[in-house]
Each structure stands twice: as C-alpha cells, then as structure tokens.
Amino acid sequence: MVFSSLDEELELLAGKLTPRGHEQLVRLSSYMPFEQAVELFEDFMGIHVSKDVGQRYTEEAGAVYEELQTEEVEELHKKRPKTRAMSGKLQISADGCTPYLRSVQVCGPHPAIHR
C-alpha cells in the first residue's frame, strides 16, 4: 500500500506559497521587473519573497508553458492534412476576394472587373 503525502494530495508547491500565491507572483513577474513584482506581491499578499525567488518561479513557469506549446504544435503537425505540392509562388488576399486561378495567363484586365 502506497501513501501519498498531504502536500501532494493538496497539490502544494515546494516553498511557502500556496498554488494561488505562486500563480499571482508569476503573473506579476511576467508584467513587470522582478524586483517591482515581489514588492507589489508583498504589499498585496503580506508575504515576503526575494527577487531571485520571483524570477526563478517565473522562469520555471515560462519553461513549462513553452514545453506545453511545443507539444501542442507537434500534435497539430501530426494531425494536419497532407498537402499537394505547390508551385514556388503563392498569392494571399487579405480581403478574401482574390479568385483562385490555376495555370491561367491573364493578358489584360479581368473580364469580371471591367464590364
């Protein structure tokens, strides 16, 4: 029989911050310099943490987020449909109104434009 610790069961993180406190510190640190973030965090929460702790937590959270994004991109690449080979040129229309022309040479104004 395996017993889990109460910290794991409550999903507590290492250190003195609750998961919510950890999240708030990381959010503050992602919007402003670490030193200002820990000062503001202490003002709001009454919990003192050093600039180094705020920076470490934020960088760790950023690394985890980057890893999640990389996994999502890899999963999307696996699921994307197979595409056929295209020529070296591609035209994109921002307004969505450009007609798709397949191997057509236009030798003058388009008849639909100049009626």
pLDDT in tens, 90-112: 666 677 665 666 655 555 555 55
Of 33, 11, 32, 31, nearest to 20 by C-alpha is: 11
Question: Residue 23, Cβ neighbours under 10 Å: how many?
Answer: 14
**How large is the average pLDDT for residues 58-63?**
92
The length of the chain is: 115
What's this model's pTM, rounded to 2 decimal places?
0.58
Alpha-carbon span 26 to 56, nearest angstrom: 9
- pLDDT, tens only, 4-16: 676 666 655 667 7
Neighbours of 38 (CB within 10 A): 23
The answer to whether 29 touches 37, Cβ cutoff 8 Å, is: yes
